[in-house]
Structure 1
């Protein structure tokens, strides 16, 4: 009998694996609605939906292996990273989804959130002031006008599965919506800067690398406290705190 493996679990949601079936438990049905609709629309490989019975969504495992994990060396080849870039370009060229995106924020709102988070990080002694100040400066480049595209919204490296030089599936679409293309590229390469050139080669168009680096800082600054509060360790080698230190 297949054992039950906890893939991720925190107070907002949990994902379990039983054999080749993933069970996603989420009381926020709007988030699951987005995931289901996004997988039906996107022009890239996604998991098969087996059934849905709120608050549970059952999906089939995708073939291949994850491109990597944050904090660990990637086993993906340059060709695999380039294939990921090509798949992301295909997604970004797709027609916009009918919903705006769960996390879409205007520049003023984003600045206010970032400044508030930076103040909390320093006041509560979570991170040194000089580290926060430097990365707040770097993050400024990400706060600019951008043309919305169909984005994954949470394109972490472990959400992209590959086999050789082919993308076999992209998972976890609950944050999909209209967003900044460079946010997706930055999320994928967070902590794996050495593969950025491969991704951009596959993406096939010029991008502003300063903006991608700015998103690394911005995403990390906004994520550190949440990660700590939900039982994760952003200070593990290669993770968010190391990403922030790399900007010093």
Structure 2
């Protein structure tokens, strides 16, 4: 595959959808795909026309994890590989100044599970499955799973899922808080687009600052979080979106957060 083949890019109504496109491998990741996805995220962040980013998979899988054929026999350590590929990708997702939705259309296993968990919001198809498969090949969960999963389900449940490599269904994922919505397989892409367009209509600057505040609060004290909120609230209050929101409230109309400020 050429670089343009492994990742499909489409923008509709402010929603940029990045589709992992190795369906014959259940979108198992190789270097080419990981670099393409990281670059596409950076491009979306720099494009003012993009308000929300969706990551999904072509075919039956979301991402089956690392394509082992792509690393077999290479003269590169595990640490070097992660630092060159997955870790920059996850950092880019979390640092993106726009909401990132991971639309899990099928199996998400190993590093693919980590990718699914790294979204700001996670939407699942009814047929989706998540498997922390690392222990099956005597490896440690990576690409952010040890950070994301316990924060979503708690330490003990996260350890159990990682140690036993049990499969999590969409119904169970919704119960555990691993996803925000579950949609029927047959309408999944349309439902994701509709959800993303709702998000795209929200105040982009305020959401960027909210994401920044939440990311900081995840590893800070209450005092530090209060200070960060105060600083970011000033930035939000000085932005034209705030004036629009207040005017809309007073005028009893829907705010227009997509106009030119």
Please state which structure has a larger fraction of its residues in helix: 2
TM norm structure 2: 0.26
